[in-house]
Amino acid sequence: MSAGTLYDKVWELHRVADLPGGATQLFIGLHLIHEVTSPQAFAALDDLGLSVRHPERTVATVDHIVPTTSQARPFADPLAEEMLATLEANCARHGITLHGLGSGRQGIVHVIAPELGLTQPGMTVACGDSHTSTHGAFGAIAFGIGTSQVRDVLASQSLAMGKLKVRRIRVEGTLQSGVYAKDLVLHVIRTLGVKGGVGYAYEFAGPAIEALSMEERMTLCNMAIEGGARCGYVNPDAITFAYLKGRPHAPAGEAWERAVAWWSALASGPDAVFDDEVVFDAATIAPTVTWGITPGQAIGVDEAVPTLEQTDSDERPIAEEAYRYMDLRPGVPIEGLPVDVCFIGSCTNGRLSDLRAAAAVARGRQVAAGIKAFVVPGSEQVAAAAEAEGLDAVFREAGFEWREPGCSMCLAMNPDRLEGRQISASSSNRNFKGRQGSASGRTLLMSPAMVAAAAVSGHVADVRRLIATPSSPEPAPTPA
């Protein structure tokens, strides 16, 4: 059983009570809500005659259903309009802050909470969205919940939870140029499997992790859930504190010094005990691309679609299903596979450093004929910062569309979606059957730079050949 880890310390600090069923009642420090998984929770709260216990600890935005072309109200889709109107009414009635369209602070929930300084080390963070694991990048314990649990957090600012085991994923060495956090996490999932993390929290540690920027750490923790781990985290350090300093909700002045001391003490100590440990070597990781229908069906861009013989026996049925669905033959190299649509964005890779890395590839090149390519900033702040340094112009000149912020084609709850058998190069997080809005649409997951490389090449391409130097500096906090 783990001991002395950040996970253990944060768990103990937030323990409210031990429940008769054996679960722990855990205080939730930050509750994030959006339009898709909250309306039924508010309705249930009404049915129970309860109010919101800590409205100041819930923050709302709208992301899944917003169009990325025109965000004028009312939306063309009456269902989308009803969902946003319902969120607005619920927030107004319960005194919850809503960062709405045009506020300057709207965006994908897992992009805006960090950039506003809402997400901080040592917090428990819950949201009705599985990619809540993103916030673990700050040394928070953050996990996705269902709507009944959203109701519980609204009613009691707490949840009934079972404690997870902790697996340390130690990454030695240095990532090659052209290899990003996205490649690293796809490699981890490919190795440990999509269910390898069930029952675990993942602590990402080691020199390669400590070298990552905060935005890269967010990409990494975002996809912990794709490996089955409900939460993933990185211990807070100087990079974490530098990112937070000066953000709207970060402590300031003397409070800042007290905060840094408290945060620092929460990191897993040298004597921390883990339930399991796996070690990776960053230097061996290539730009990584999914070829199948789960995020674990991933290969290096210089590899071929695995054959059945190369596949573990219990993974063969889903490999065969993937060959059929993707219309890919085993043994075929993934590089050179033609794509139809290129999507840069999402809570995984819709931040400023992602757009910079993609723009570095797109600059001076042209989107290949017949390809639809578009860039969706993760938030209004990301959009403003990118426009301030001219990235929108770089993308437009290269033939990409530059869109308004939202979840866009990651999950197709808005007008952005694949059609028919289209195949996309996507910087998002899920390549499930039908995920991008067409029941037969196909998705190849990869880093934003790799998506840009695919866009200008017309097919899956090794971005290492297209870039001269790596480029993912840490963006400075932007004024809100």
Partner 1 sequence: MSATPFPAGPIQHCQGRAVVVPGDDIDTDRIIPARYLKCVTFDGLAEGVFADDRRERAGDHPFDRAGNQGAAILVVNRNFGCGSSREHAPQALMRWGIRAVIGESFAEIFFGNCLALGIPCLSADHDTVLAVQAAVAAHPGALLQLDLEPPQVTLQADGEALAWPLELAAGPRRMLVSGEWNGTAQLVAHDAELRATTGRLPYLAGFATA
Smallest separation (angstroms) from partner 1 to the CB of 103: 22
Instruction: Check if the beta carbon of residue 248 is closer than 8 Å to that of residue 99.
Output: no
CB of 85 or CB of 393, closer to partner 1: 85
Cβ 147 to partner 1 shortest distance, Å: 4
Closer CB to partner 1, residue 67 or residue 287?
67
Q: How far is CA 325 from CA 183, 211, 308, in A?
A: 23, 38, 15
**Residue 423 CB, nearest distance to partner 1 (Å)?**
17
Q: Is 269 exposed, middle or buried (0-12, 13-18, 19+ CB in 10 A)?
A: middle
In the complex, the smallest distance separating the C-beta of residue 463 from partner 1, rounded to whole angstroms, is 27
The conformational region for residue 420 under phi > 0 = left, psi -120 to 50 = alpha, else beta, is left
Q: Which is nearer to partner 1, 159 or 449 (CB)?
A: 159
The CB-of-475 to partner 1 minimum distance in angstroms stands at 24
To the nearest whole angstrom, how small is the minimum distance from the Cβ of residue 315 to partner 1? 8
Report the distance separating Cα 49 and Cα 151, nearest Å. Answer: 12
Give the nearest distance from C-beta 116 to partner 1 in angstroms: 14
Question: Closest CB to partner 1 among 87 and 359?
Answer: 87
Q: Which is nearer to partner 1, 294 or 426 (CB)?
A: 294
What is the phi-psi region of residue 404: left when phi exceeds 0, alpha when psi lies from -120 to 50, beta otherwise? beta
How far apart are CB 306 and partner 1 at their closest, in Å?
Answer: 16
Only one residue has tokens 């796996």, namely 278
DSSP letter (8 states) at residue 449: H
Spatial distance between the Cα atoms of 30 and 159, rounded to a whole number of angstroms: 12
Cα-Cα-Cα-Cα torsion 212, 64, 117, 174, nearest 10 degrees, comes to 0
Which residue lies nearer to partner 1 by CB, 148 or 284?
148
Sheet containing strand 372-375, edge to edge, reads: 401-402, 372-375, 341-344, 423-426, 442-445
Q: Is 147 exposed, middle or buried (0-12, 13-18, 19+ CB in 10 A)?
A: middle
The nearest distance, CB 332 to partner 1, in angstroms, is 22
**CA-closest candidate to residue 210, choices 134, 282, 132:** 282
For partner 1, which is the closer residue by CB, 149 or 268? 149
Longest dimension (CA), the chain: 63
Token pair belonging to 435:
């995920």
Q: Which is nearer to partner 1, 318 or 467 (CB)?
A: 318
CB neighbours of residue 321 within 10 Å: 14
Q: Closer to partner 1 at the Cβ: 149 or 240?
A: 149
* Amino acid identity at 96: I
